[in-house]
Amino acid sequence: MSARYGMVIDLDRCTGCGSCMIACAADNNVPVLPKATARTGLTPLLVRKVSNALEGTARREAFIPIMCMHCEHETPCVTVCPQQAVEVDKATGIVMQMPQRCLGCRYCMTACPYHARYFNWWDPAWPAGMEKSLNPGVAVRMRGVVEKCNMCHARLHSAQEKAAALGKREIDPADYVPACVEACPTAAIRFGNLADKNDPVSQEAHSPNAFRFLARLGTEPKLYYKSSEAWVRALAESASGPVPENKSSEKKLAEVQHG
């Protein structure tokens, strides 16, 4: 039975500290380059600040971590890639990007509705000696290729190796925890197998305050968000107005869960 790894991100708990962004960059050997700006920087996980657009004491602000949504259906980036440099992994549902195969056309960056893909404008470089702090298990990319969140595939690989060494077929879920999930001080980012009915994350994805961004596009993202504040939920489809109930996505999730 294949897994469908996904997340539920509780926006009531996100304080916008940025620990997840740094843990992600550290685990995935993402460089910090002096010429980078907010437009050209590499942030496979990016926390955005949003507000209810009011001023004074009525103003509310929230923080939204955005990374690859690992779209399940008609995945836009997979559809457009001329190099087959990205695919939806059958066994896990992870949308796996292979930067070494990428030729840098950036069509996928245009196709991604969530702006979750980033281009390596420059070769990565670290100050002398700092390359010793690079994480083994994640290949360093070169300039000219696109990269994005791969759901910490290096940690999945370690979990699979450990299970194999112990003679097991399935990984121990405690061994596969993405860096952002592990780093979050308020446990706002929760990770689990959406195809497993008994997984608490899978159950939380069904809760009344859970929503997905741009669900109307039908890409079936596997990252769910949750907020008790209506103005935050309203951001899912547009900046104003309520979120329309998307029955087809509920049905799709049910199909995935029941096989």
Identify which of residues 100 and 248 has a Cβ nearer to another protein in the complex. Answer: 100
CA distances 140 to 74, 145, 207, Å, are 29, 11, 39
Min CB(252)–another protein separation in Å: 21
Whose CA is closest to 249, among 125, 4, 119, 71? 71
Smallest distance, Å, CB 49 to another protein? 7
- Our finding on whether 123 is near another protein (CB under 8 A) is yes
Which is closer to another protein, CB of 103 or CB of 239?
Answer: 103
Nearer to another protein, 13 or 73 (CB): 13
Q: Please identify, using beta-carbon distances, which residue of 111 and 210 lies nearer to another protein.
A: 210
Residue 3 makes contact with another protein by CB under 8 A = no
The answer to the question of residue 167 lying near another protein (CB under 8 A) is yes
Interaction between residue 181 and another protein (CB under 8 A): no
Which listed range, 97-105, 109-117, 234-242, 250-258, lies at the site for another protein (CB under 8 A)? 97-105
Asked if 186 touches another protein (CB under 8 A), the answer is: yes
- Residue 145: strand, helix, or coil: coil
Residue 247 C-beta: closest distance to another protein, Å: 25
Going through the chain in order, the beta strands assigned E by DSSP cover 5-10, 46-51, 61-66, 86-88, 95-97, 118-119, 146-147, 189-193, 210-211, 223-226
Among 48-56, 108-116, 196-204, 234-242, the segment contacting another protein (CB under 8 A): 48-56
Give the residue, chosen from 79, 83, 110, 135, that forms a contact with another protein under the rule CB under 8 A. Answer: 135
**Where does this chain touch another protein (CB under 8 A) — which range of 69-77, 109-117, 160-168, 212-220?**
160-168
Q: How many CA atoms lie within 13 A of 93 on its CB side?
A: 24
Cα–Cα distance, 74 to 237 (Å, whole number): 19
Q: How far is the CB of 128 from another protein (least distance, A)?
A: 7
Residue 94, interface with another protein (CB under 8 A)? Answer: yes
User: CA-to-CA distance for 135 and 75, rounded, in angstroms?
Assistant: 29
Q: How far is CA 110 from the centre of its chain?
A: 17
Query: Of 156, 201, 253, 256, which lies in the binding site for another protein, with binding defined by CB under 8 A?
Result: 156
Position among 183, 223, 236, 256 found at the interface with another protein (CB under 8 A): 183
The amino acid that residue 255 corresponds to is E
Q: Which is nearer to another protein, 139 or 239 (CB)?
A: 139
Distances from the Cα of 13 to the Cαs of 10, 55, 78, 164, 199, in angstroms?
Answer: 6, 22, 32, 36, 20
Token digits for 121? Answer: 């404008």
Q: Which of residues 218-257 bind another protein (CB under 8 A)?
A: 228
What are the distances in angstroms from CA 91 to CA 1, 145, 164, 257?
8, 25, 16, 14
Structure tokens of 149? Answer: 């969140």
